[in-house]
Amino acid sequence: MLATFSHEETIIRPDDIINHPTLCKSLKVPERIIAALTENGVGMSREELAAELEMESSTARATLKKAIQRGMTKKALFETSDGKIGLIN
């Protein structure tokens, strides 16, 4: 939900957490991957995803790799022949 306040009224409307990068950091890694791919609109390499999600340490990259594999197993993600990760609609 997004709230806008003024002296005369308060407007509350639905919003998506994807639209707020600071809030996205609180999501689990699979959800963050989907948010990044949705926001980007095209496939991203593993390196691009790691940079976008600020997961560039070796431990974070291992977590990212597992999340990508899980996403592929669940048929939510795919990998192209050139190594780009994409969303399955």
Which domains are present in the chain? 21-87 (1.10.10.10)
**Per-residue model confidence as pLDDT tens digits over 6-24:** 888 888 877 666 665 566 6
Give the pLDDT confidence score for residue 5 in this predicted structure: 86
Phi/psi at 49 (nearest 5 deg)? -65, -45
**Per-residue model confidence as pLDDT tens digits over 49-87:** 999 888 989 999 999 999 999 999 999 999 999 999 999
Give the pLDDT confidence score for residue 35 in this predicted structure: 85
Give the pLDDT confidence score for residue 50 in this predicted structure: 94
CA dihedral 38, 54, 29, 79 (to 10 degrees): 60
**Confidence (pTM):** 0.72
Give the pLDDT confidence score for residue 12 in this predicted structure: 82
